[in-house]
Homo-oligomer: A and B are copies of this chain.
Amino acid sequence: MDFSIGELARRTQVKVPTIRYYEQIGLLAPPPRTEGQQRRYDKKSIARLAFIRHARELGFNIEAIRALLSLQDNPDQSCSVADRIASARLAEVEERIASLSALRTELQRMLKECACGRVAECRVIETLADSTHRHGRLAEN
C-alpha cells in the first residue's frame, strides 16, 4: 500500500523534483524511507499533494497554501480565514484580468495601425518610442 516518489508523481501529475521541493520547504511532511533512504508514500500523501496542486492551479502562492493546509488540519476553526485567502486571490485575479485587458486593447491598436511596410513607419515601433505614452504600471506578465 505504499509507493515510490515516481508513483506519487504519476498519480498526482506533480513532477518528482517538485515533490521533493515541497518537502524541503515544509509543505509536505517528510515521509518514511526504505532502508536505502528512498521515500515511501501512502494514500494520504496523494490527497495532500493533490490539494496543493489544485491550490497552485488556482494560483495561490506557497504561503497561502501553507495557511490553507493548516486550516484543513484544524477543521474546527472558523472558515473565515480560508474565505479571506480565497477572496484575496480572487481580487488579484480580477486586477490582473483588468490590466491584461488594457494591454490587449493597446496591442490590438498597435497592430491594426501597422501597415507593415518598413520599420521607419511602423506603428508598433513608433508606439513604443512615443514619449507621450501614458505611464501605467509594468505588466507582471
**Residues of A bordering B, CB below 8 Å:** 13, 46-47, 50-51, 53-59, 68, 71-72, 74-80, 82-83, 85-87, 89-90, 93-94, 96-97, 100-101, 103-104, 106-108, 110-111, 114-122, 124-125, 127-131, 133, 135-141
Chain B nearest CB: distance from A116 CB in Å?
5
Q: Please judge, given known A-B contacts A59-B139, A108-B90, A125-B72, whether A130 and B54 are in contact too, CB under 8 Å.
A: yes
Q: Please judge, given known A-B contacts A54-B133, A122-B79, whether A103 and B59 are in contact too, CB under 8 Å.
A: yes
Taking chain A's interface residues, is the majority helix, strand, or loop, or is none over half, making it mixed?
helix
Query: Contact at B59–A141, with CB atoms within 8 Å?
Result: yes
13 contacts between A and B (CB under 8 A): A47-B129, A58-B107, A58-B128, A78-B116, A79-B125, A82-B122, A83-B124, A86-B110, A86-B124, A96-B141, A97-B101, A97-B104, A141-B141
B residues near A135, Cβ cutoff 8 Å: 13, 57
B residues near A47, Cβ cutoff 8 Å: 129, 131
Q: Please judge, given known A-B contacts A100-B100, A128-B55, whether A107 and B79 are in contact too, CB under 8 Å.
A: no
